[in-house]
Amino acid sequence: MRLAVYGKGGIGKSTTSCNISVALARRGKKVLQIGCDPKHDSTFTLTGYLIPTIIDTLQEKDFHYEDIWPEDVIYKGYGGVDCVEAGGPPAGAGCGGYVVGETVKLLKELNAFDEYDVILFDVLGDVVCGGFAAPLNYADYALIVTDNGFDALFAANRIAASVREKARTHPLRLAGLIGNRTSKRDLIDKYIETVPMPVLEVLPLIEDIRVSRVKGKTLFEMAETEAVLNYVCDYYLNIADQILALPEGVVPKDAADRDLFALLSDF
Ligand code: ADP
Ligand code: MG
């Protein structure tokens, strides 16, 4: 199964992705997480450091794919999760979608792509240009991380539009929203009244999740020595279980931008 996790910058995609990946591994799945954000820190809490990117490795080997071995680009992360960072085009030049395409091409040539039960693409999605929509070409399900605010829901709606578009030609469904860093969900609920889609989970702001980033650990690793944190892991296990149950999801009917401004504004 292939998952693509989208959402506004800084909303918690990578944090959520790493913990979902470990949750899926805990359920016995062989998992690969592919960071598709040029920021290349997607897998940081799985490995504890910034692993070399596919683009770095390709450049180093002068784009000779035949000189690259799986261990040059696939790194072992916590809980048995394998990790890849696609990396970015040179700053201010090139296309992120090209990078994702090269990553998938290389993994296929290494016979690594079909080896996993679950591949999770962690993708930035403030504005989904064709390039950053590229992982949707490979995904069975999209997941969107959002908080209860206008900007993240506006981004979510843009992502929903991309899913709707890709679903015309690919067997892609939107599994739903993951609320993050919010105890309120009134705007999320308003949005899904207009654009119906499931909400898989809503995680509050949890100081230990913030700290997990600084420590370079997932919540599962932290919970090994701090059992009180198991309740946080349960949020991620719940999301993993819903995904593994192959939810029906939706092909969303996104809202027009102006309607969304009217819907989510207070005036
Ligand atoms: P993105 O990948 O969407 O850019 P990150 O996963 O890097 O976002 O998260 C940004 C910051 O927010 C990180 O420091 C992370 O630890 C923190 N964070 C994410 N989710 C939560 C949460 N539920 N509670 C507290 N902090 C969070
Ligand atoms: Mg990220």
CB-count burial class (<10 Å; 0-12, 13-18, 19+) for 110: middle
Mutation pick for ligand 1 pocket among 21, 44, 181, 210 (CB with most ligand atoms within 8 Å)? 210
Instruction: Read off the amino acid at residue 171.
Output: P
How far is ligand 1, taken at its centre, from the CA of residue 241, in Å? 22
Res. 125 pLDDT band, cuts 50 70 90: confident
Ligand nearest to the CA of 217: 1
Atom of ligand 1 nearest to the CA of 145: 3
What per-residue confidence (pLDDT) applies to 131? Answer: 75
How far is ligand 2, taken at its centre, from the CA of residue 7, in Å? 9
**Does 128 have pLDDT greater than 70?**
no
Q: What is the pLDDT of residues 253-267, one digit of tens each?
A: 999 999 999 999 877
Q: What is the pLDDT of residues 57-91, one digit of tens each?
A: 988 999 888 899 999 999 999 999 999 999 987 66
Tokens 């790194």 locate to: 75
Mutation pick for ligand 1 pocket among 8, 13, 15 (CB with most ligand atoms within 8 Å)? 15
Q: What is the pLDDT of residues 177-226, one digit of tens each?
A: 999 999 999 999 999 999 999 999 999 999 999 999 999 999 999 999 99
How far is ligand 2, taken at its centre, from the CA of residue 13, in Å? 5
Q: What is the pLDDT of residues 217-235, one digit of tens each?
A: 999 999 999 999 999 999 9
CA distances from 16 to 45, 92, 145, 162, 190 (A): 10, 28, 8, 21, 23
What per-residue confidence (pLDDT) applies to 126? Answer: 66
Complete DSSP assignment for 30-66: -EEEEE-STT--TTHHHHSS-PPPHHHHHHHTTT-GG
What per-residue confidence (pLDDT) applies to 96? Answer: 74
262 three-class SS: helix
Atom of ligand 1 nearest to the CA of 16: 6
How far is ligand 2, taken at its centre, from the CA of residue 9, in Å? 7
Res. 117 pLDDT band, cuts 50 70 90: very high
Q: What is the pLDDT of residues 4-39, one digit of tens each?
A: 999 999 999 999 999 999 999 999 999 999 999 888
What per-residue confidence (pLDDT) applies to 254? Answer: 93
pTM, to two decimals = 0.96
Task: Supply the ipTM of this predicted assembly.
Answer: 0.99
Quick one: tokens of 214? Answer: 């600084």
136 three-class SS: helix
Higher-confidence position of 122 and 89 = 122
Mutation pick for ligand 1 pocket among 182, 209, 222 (CB with most ligand atoms within 8 Å)? 209
**Does 127 have pLDDT greater than 70?**
no
Torsion of CA 194, 195, 200, 203, to 10 degrees: -60
Cα–Cα distance for residue pair 18/26, rounded to 1 Å: 12
What per-residue confidence (pLDDT) applies to 91? Answer: 67
Ligand nearest to the CA of 201: 1
**Helical (H) or strand (E) element with 113:** none
Complete DSSP assignment for 141-157: EEEEEE-SSHHHHHHHH
Q: Nearest to residue 36, comparing CAs of 82, 80, 101? A: 101
What per-residue confidence (pLDDT) applies to 95? Answer: 76
What per-residue confidence (pLDDT) applies to 146? Answer: 98
Q: Which residues' Cβ are closer than 6 Å to ligand 1?
A: 7, 9-15, 180-181, 203, 205-206, 209-210, 212-213
Q: Of the listed 37, 122, 126, 147, which one is catalytic?
A: 126
**Does 132 have pLDDT greater than 90?**
no
What per-residue confidence (pLDDT) applies to 44? Answer: 98
Q: How many CB atoms lie within 10 A of CB 114?
A: 8
Is 126 assigned a catalytic role? Answer: yes
183 Cβ neighbours under 8 A, 6+ residues apart = 204, 205
244 three-class SS: helix
Which segment of 50-54, 94-98, 178-182 scores lowest on mean pLDDT? 94-98
Ion ligand 2 neighbours, Cβ < 5 Å = 13-14, 37
**Does 176 have pLDDT greater than 90?**
yes
How far is ligand 1, taken at its centre, from the CA of residue 251, in Å? 27
What per-residue confidence (pLDDT) applies to 25? Answer: 98
